[in-house]
Copies of this chain bind each other. A is one copy, B any other.
């Protein structure tokens, strides 16, 4: 390696070391804010967190770092494959960051800080009008952002889609969602017409302390090593952490909905296993963590839906649940439980949706984002458009903005282009599951009592690479073919046709 490349690498690594150190501070701050800090505490440390962000921005845009990344990018043929990928990603991000005028960057951060509490309040009051002026400013910024980032090859919504998932675009997602719409909407309508049994037993009270005991039991099942994980509570379940040695999930316990905490736990532990199984050699690099949003979501959904809602899983783990909740589940068979946790129901809220209707919730957001960004839909008309689409795709009437357009936090945080990755993740999961099933007898592995074998397969084929390759390349190597959404469509059609006793077409 040339001397000046060596020198650039040392500048780059020292800067990264400092960014990572501040990353610990950001992680601890958000973890504490979400799980434990009292209300007054959070608002009074805003200024300190702002200063840490300022220090982070100064590091990330420092002239010596910029020069170092340029030098390394120019000399990238001298670097090993992992470092070369890392530098390519960093170079791309640097170029994007430098196209944002610094005053705009600062003003947008401040706008988001102000928008968050307004969004929370507006959601509480189910009052979109209150939040609308902020969302208009956020959307305006995004439109200006798209102009700054415009290239001959890429413009508009494509730019944002590509930021959340490399090598995606409107063309790519349109094709995916068109297929899903064509295949799933009729199936959903046929199932809705058929209806579900009453499942009255599921509406009993399931004491929260017992639910927590069962989640501790699931920690063992999911190989979620207590020496480097934490399970805590928060308003909405999420996964956080500080690299492979510190992985944390939260849960939320509803006394009248025992399934909620169970599947949230499995979902978040799916995310967590990914973080825990990234190759240790990537620890101090920018290639730790998951390959992309969609790849992360594929891991949580594979565990939650394909493993956690399988009959084999419950034949193995239902006895422990039934024992804990003897009064409530005495007369509920494992088959009945399995049907209950796989019931399809057209509903209002994405995060509570079942596996089959979930992509339709995302489709709605995708279509609305496209229209917002190309100017064919005004922010103030969002609630109306939202209602229309929920009626059309899911056949439900939205009673108010809280259960409607204000339900998701993403837009208030400036995240446009994020939603489609949820569905793409589910589609990746189906393709990975298919490949896994060729290497392993998955049901037999599940019946061993833990997900050890499955987690090992995922470690070997996905997790260990971290973010050192593009997600589609990882998927290709793991499954032997490029992304193909038909695995997802077939998985859903097979599973739910069988569950509801319908012909496949």
Interface residues of A (CB under 8 A from B): 17-18, 20-25, 28-29, 31-32, 36-41, 44-45, 47-49, 51-52, 55, 226-230, 232, 242-243, 245-246, 284
Contact = CB atoms under 8 A, between A and B. Distances in A.
Contacts of A32: 28, 31-32
Contacts of A37: 230, 246
Contact of A228 (B29, B36, B38): B38
A227 B40 contact: yes
A245 B226 CA distance: 32
B20 A51 contact: yes
A228 B52 contact: no
Contacts of A44: 228, 243, 245-246
B21 A24 contact: no
Contacts of A36: 230, 232
A52 to B, nearest CB: 5
Contacts of A45: 24, 242, 245-246
Residue with the greatest number of chain B CB neighbours at <10 A, chosen from A23, A49, A228, A243: A228
Given A25-B24, A52-B21, A52-B24, A38 B230 contact: yes
A28 to B, nearest CB: 4
Contact of A28 (B17, B18, B28, B47): B28
A21 B230 contact: no
A24 B40 contact: no
Nearest to A283: B44
A232 B25 CA distance: 21
A41 B242 contact: yes
Nearest to A28: B28
Given A28-B32, A230-B38, A17 B245 contact: no
A32 B37 CA distance: 12
A53 B232 CA distance: 29
Given A18-B55, A32-B32, A24 B41 contact: no
Contacts of A41: 228, 242, 245-246
**Nearest 4 Cβ contacts at the A-B interface:** A25-B25, A44-B245, A21-B51, A28-B28
Given A24-B29, A41-B242, A18 B227 contact: no
B29 A49 contact: no
A358 to B, nearest CB: 33
B38 A229 contact: yes
Given A36-B230, A45-B245, 12 more contacts: A17-B51, A20-B48, A22-B52, A23-B48, A24-B29, A32-B32, A38-B227, A38-B246, A40-B227, A41-B242, A45-B246, A55-B55
A47 B228 CA distance: 17
Contacts of A55: 18, 21, 55
A367 to B, nearest CB: 41
A242 B51 CA distance: 15
A284 B45 CA distance: 11
Nearest to A17: B51
A481 to B, nearest CB: 37
A56 to B, nearest CB: 10
Residue with the greatest number of chain B CB neighbours at <10 A, chosen from A38, A52, A55, A242: A38
A484 B229 CA distance: 52
A36 to B, nearest CB: 6
12 contacts: A20-B51, A21-B55, A24-B25, A24-B45, A24-B49, A37-B230, A38-B227, A38-B230, A41-B242, A41-B245, A44-B245, A55-B55
Contact of A18 (B23, B51, B243, B246): B51
A293 to B, nearest CB: 24
Given A245-B41, A246-B37, A48 B29 contact: no
Nearest to A226: B38
A144 to B, nearest CB: 29
A27 B223 CA distance: 31
Nearest to A32: B28
Contacts of A29: 24-25, 28
